[in-house]
Amino acid sequence: MSAVRTKRTRARRARGAVAIEMAVIISMTFVIIPLVLAFGRIFWYYSAMKQASHDAARAMATMPLAEMLVKTRELDAEQVVGAMVARSLAAAGIADSEIVGVEIHCINPNSGSLLCTKPSSGSTQLKPLAIRVRTSVDVDIGLYIGLTQEYPPNQAIFSLEAVTTVPYSN
C-alpha cells in the first residue's frame, strides 16, 4: 500500500512542478514578446529610413551641376527629394508626425562647406564630391514603456537617424 501512496505523491508533486514551470514560462513570454515587437518596429523604421535616404541621395547625385548652381532650382530639388523621402517613409508605415527632418548636403572639395550653391566668397565652384542625406525619425515606444522604464531612462520616444553618402556622378 505504501508503494501506491508514493506513486500518488510523486504524481501530485510532478503536477505542481509543471504548473510552476508553466507560470514562469508564460510570464516570461508576456515580457519578451512586447520587447521583440518594439525592437522589430525600430529595425523596420531604420531599414525604411536607410533605403529612403539612399534613394534621395542617388537622385541628388545624378542632378546636373548647372541645376545645383542655381539657388532656386536647388531649393526645388531639395523639396522634391524631401517629398520623395516622405512618400517612401509613408509607404513603410511611418507617419508624417514621426519624421523629424530630412537634411540634404553637398560635400564640396574647395571649402568643405555643405552648400550646393556657388560660394559668396568669389571662389570658383567645383562639382561636389558627394551628396549626404540625413533622415531623422522619432519612434514612440510609449506602448512598451511599462516594460522599458529602465532603458531608455524615462523616455517614451526613441530617436533614429539614417545617414547615406553617395558620390556625385554627374
What confidence tens digit (pLDDT) does each residue in 22-37 have? 899 998 888 788 778 8
> Residue 61: what residue type?
A
Select from 70, 68, 88 the least CA-distant residue to 164.
Answer: 88
| Number of CB atoms found within 10 A of residue 99's CB | 19
Contact 170, 57 (CB under 8 A): no
pTM of the shown model? 0.72
Task: Provide the β-strand partners of residue 139.
Answer: 158
The pLDDT of residue 109 is 67
Tell me the range of 85-89, 104-108, 150-154 where mean pLDDT is highest. Answer: 85-89
Dist CA 119 CA 126 (whole Å): 10
| Number of CB atoms found within 10 A of residue 101's CB | 11
The pLDDT of residue 53 is 93
Dist CA 133 CA 44 (whole Å): 19
Q: Which residue has the higher pLDDT, 134 or 155?
A: 134
In the sheet where 130-140 sits, what is the strand order?
Answer: 99-107, 130-140, 157-167
Contact 38, 145 (CB under 8 A): no
Dist CA 119 CA 125 (whole Å): 7
